[in-house]
Amino acid sequence: MRVLTRYIASTILASTALVLAVLLALYTFIDFVTELEDLGKGEYGLAEIARYISLSMPKRIYELLPIAALLGSVVGLGNLASQSELVVMRAAGLSMGKINSAVILVAVVLFIVALFMGEVVRPITEQKAQTFQSLAQTGTVSMQSNYGFWTRDGNHFNHIEYILPNGQFKGISIYQFDDQQRLRKISKAEQASHNSEVWILEQVVHSRIDERSIQVQSEATQQWQSTLNPGMLNVVVVPPEFLPVWSLLDYIQYLKANQQASNRYQLAFWSKLMMPLSAAVMVFIAVPFIFGPLRSSPIGGRILAGALAGIGFHLFNQMFQHMGLVFGLWPFMSAALPTFLFAGLGIILMRRVH
């Protein structure tokens, strides 16, 4: 029976890999056509577009994995059913529990793959992709806002115009307030670099403000103590959903310590934790498509039903997460509820399978 279990698992994994390759090819073509709109910006040519898309492939694999898991499982099990292999296996004494164990084995494998892609591969490649694209088009690393990046550090509000490829800041303004929220000092520097302990500001101009006058002072260099560290620069260059969980946790704590809104980053954190589980749930849901009410349908009908279910899960998941941000729902609920609902649906459908 272990041989049959491994055979079923390998068939599902092979079908999942094939479906993922087809979906990846389709989305790669769409991404290529989309990037052609920026062709000619700076040094952004066809070779640069190809490199950017290749660096972005881990992101696409990570996003497509739940749908590929569902479709691949339906196709794999459907092929076994259409060739009467499942009928022969069950006639030979293979129980539904053994078939489910093969499906669970596939779910565990895909869970590990999704975890590895999301926490190890995707953050690195996506940061390189974003940096490379911005350098090719503009010569600098892109910011999340056309007006630079704002951050709060206690009573200091900091504005950074650009982040250079080597991690340095360019065009820094530091606004210092007192406990009564009165502006007391403005420091402007041409650039800043980090030496593992503090930031070194260069070409600094200080404007000290009191009730009677403004005193201006210039310095060639000055040390800047800030809780903002180079590791947090990823949050500026890469959207939160592309960051590893440890970077998200670090930045969430930073935002909370400075009394800034962190819901978006908490949602990204819980979404990353739930995504590998979502891929496993999609594999689990595939079993009722083969042994449930659709078992008499042709393989094309099962694939269509599986595609609709996968797309429905993806759309519902995205919609509920955005609704959670708009209505201020608990980030864990916004990220986890769609997966739990589909998992519950899978359990209900599995109980009807005989």
Tell me: the pLDDT tens digits for 12-47? Answer: 899 999 999 999 999 999 999 999 988 888 788 899
In the predicted model, is pLDDT for residue 288 greater than 80? no
Residues 6+ away with beta carbon under 8 Å from 143:
149, 162, 163, 236
Report pLDDT digits (tens) over 183-201. 989 999 988 888 877 888 9
pLDDT at 143: 46
In the predicted model, is pLDDT for residue 151 greater than 70? yes
pLDDT at 187: 92
Dihedral of CA 245/248/253/259: which sign? Answer: negative
User: Which residue type is seen at 157?
Assistant: F
Map tokens 């769609």 to a residue: 338
What is the pTM assigned to this prediction?
Answer: 0.68
In the predicted model, is pLDDT for residue 239 greater than 80? no
What's the CA gap between 50 and 46, in Å, rounded?
A: 6
* pLDDT average, residue stretch 203-210: 90
Residues 6+ away with beta carbon under 8 Å from 49:
32, 35, 36, 39
Mean pLDDT, the chain, integer: 81
Question: What percent of the chain lies above the pLDDT cut of 90?
Answer: 12
Instruction: Tell me which H or E stretch contains 183.
Output: strand 183-194
**256-260 LR contacts (CB < 8 Å, sep 24+):** 257/227, 258/151, 258/152, 258/153, 258/154, 258/227, 259/152, 260/152
Residues 6+ away with beta carbon under 8 Å from 209:
183, 184, 185, 186
* pLDDT average, residue stretch 303-322: 81
What's the CA gap between 327 and 348, in Å, rounded?
A: 30
Dihedral of CA 342/348/349/350: which sign? Answer: positive
In the predicted model, is pLDDT for residue 170 greater than 60? yes
Are 158 and 147 in contact by the 8 Å Cβ rule? The answer is: no
Q: Which of 247, 204, 195 is nearest to 225 (CA)?
A: 195
Name which of 62-71, 84-93, 271-280 the model is least confident about.
Answer: 84-93
From first CA to last CA, the distance across the chain in angstroms is 19
Tell me the range of 188-192, 257-261, 309-313 where mean pLDDT is highest. Answer: 188-192
Check residues 59 and 255 and name the one with the higher pLDDT. 59
Residues 6+ away with beta carbon under 8 Å from 101:
5
pLDDT at 39: 87
In the predicted model, is pLDDT for residue 85 greater than 70? yes
pLDDT at 138: 64
List 163's β-bridge partners, or say none. Answer: 141, 169
In the predicted model, is pLDDT for residue 236 greater than 60? no
